[in-house]
Amino acid sequence: MRRLCTFLHAALLATWAGSAHAAVLTVGPGETFLRIADAARHARDGDIVLIKAGTYEGDVAIWSQKDIQIRGVGGRPVLIAAGKSAEDKAIWVFRNGRVKVENIEFRGARVADGNGAGIRLERGELEVRDCVFEDNQHGILTANFPDTRLAIHDSVFAGAVAQQLPYPHLLYVGRIARLDISGSRFHRGAHGHLIKSRARVNDIRYNLIYDGPQGHASYELEFPMGGLATVVGNVIGQSADTENPVVVAYGAEADTSPWPENRLLLAHNTLVSERWKGAWFLRTFGERLPANTEVVAVNNLTVGPGVFSLGAEGRFRGNFPALSPILSGPEVLDFSLSIGTLLEGWADAAVLDAAAQPAAEFTLPIGTRPIAPPLKWSPGAFQSLR
């Protein structure tokens, strides 16, 4: 016990010593740094950069630190590209570190090759929380290093640039280790997808991935290389002006995939289509997927005309088709089941393993709220009726 206490004491001292060397750099009027780019050049590993609320035009930056936190304070600072970019890539470029970004807005990223991003993640681990990505060629774009991780929480991606080639995606994730998204909203796409991910592991929970009446995206959610994809408790919807009938796509490029494991779990999602010709709510490319690929779709609610399991091989249980009157108010982004619906309690509880059982629901404008398991589960992303 004495040796354990001595070890813990030494570990705490090491932690305090490390944090004592960290500096807090503040950017804004009257501060040491007036420009974000200057703070990015001066910051060292372990530092915290605080950016005061305001508008920062053309203030692009490259972050090379191995460990850094960047936060907006006193309101949300707005970064407007204004024709500038770091390395002809993005408003911010992260080289290879463990990074946390919170409460920042990125706008107007444009570069000559059409792949301008609010954030370009080259390598490392990036956590984004409570941020906004608006009017960019891509909101976030990653490179293809297999040890890279990206986590997005409580953020907004909107207003893709209406360019044809390359297609703009609100979120474009390359061949990285892992992607996690929760409590976030994606809407108003154009030509490209709302979310496109080639990550090895994807965990997409409790989001509003709904293009809306001003959007005309192609797929709403795509995993072209297969991989492990867990999609639970989301609203995923295409607009009347969608450029592709498919809502969720899995495996279109799986024949070139480097991933050894491939499994799609689609559980308790509300899939919405306003396309009058009908939607293809789930398309899996079985001819390109490995023979041992598992597709599980349980307790999903499809709203609007269309097909769900057409051409897909797998385990399909507890999924129900419906029309928009079954929802409380989709015109005001309320996708809960309306009071008195016959579908209340009709989900198949027997198929709900730990991965498929929702533990939260999306809440407007962003974020999640925890839910307790009901006595009887209902299909779709919401258990409470309104």
What digits encode the pLDDT tens for the residues 297-318?
Answer: 999 999 999 999 888 889 999 9
Question: What whole-number distance in Å separates Cα of residue 24 and Cα of residue 71?
Answer: 11
pLDDT at 157 over 50: yes
Positive or negative, the CA dihedral 49, 137, 82, 130 is: negative
CB 211 within 8 A of CB 236: no
Q: Residue 11 belongs to what H/E stretch?
A: helix 2-20
Lowest mean pLDDT among 2-11, 37-46, 133-142: 2-11
CB 246 within 8 A of CB 278: no
In this prediction, residues 245-251 reach a mean pLDDT of 97
User: pLDDT: is 352 or 360 the higher one?
Assistant: 360
CB 63 within 8 A of CB 91: no
pLDDT tens, position by position, 269-281: 999 999 999 999 9
**DSSP characters for 106-144?**
EE----TTS--EEEEE-SEEEEEES-EEES-SEEEEE--
Q: In the chain, pLDDT over 90 holds for what percent of residues?
A: 87
Helix, strand, coil percent content, the chain, rounded in steps of 5: 10, 40, 50
pLDDT tens, position by position, 13-54: 333 334 456 899 999 999 999 999 999 999 999 999 999 999
In this prediction, residues 139-153 reach a mean pLDDT of 98
Which of 359, 339, 357 lies closest to 349 in space, CA to CA? 357
CB atoms near residue 102 (< 10 Å)? 18
Question: What whole-number distance in Å separates Cα of residue 110 and Cα of residue 104?
Answer: 18
Q: Which residues contact 285 (CB under 8 A, 6 or more apart)?
A: 249, 250, 251, 252, 254
pLDDT at 1 over 60: no
Give the pLDDT of residue 6.
Answer: 40
Which of 52, 62, 168 lies closest to 115 in space, CA to CA? 168
Question: What whole-number distance in Å separates Cα of residue 106 and Cα of residue 134?
Answer: 6
Give the pLDDT of residue 2.
Answer: 41
Give the pLDDT of residue 340.
Answer: 83
74 secondary structure, DSSP code: S
At residue 385 the predicted structure's pLDDT band, cuts being 50, 70 and 90, is confident
Question: What whole-number distance in Å separates Cα of residue 170 and Cα of residue 35?
Answer: 27
Give the pLDDT of residue 15.
Answer: 38
Give the pLDDT of residue 260.
Answer: 94
In this prediction, residues 315-343 reach a mean pLDDT of 94
Give the pLDDT of residue 238.
Answer: 97
User: May I ask the CATH class of domain 22-322?
Assistant: mainly beta
Give the pLDDT of residue 278.
Answer: 94
* Mean pLDDT score of the chain: 93
pLDDT at 188 over 80: yes
Pairing between β-strand 327-329 and β-strand 334-337 as defined by DSSP bridges? antiparallel
| Distance from the first to the final alpha carbon of the chain | 56
Give the pLDDT of residue 354.
Answer: 85
Domain residue spans of the chain: 22-322
pLDDT at 8 over 70: no
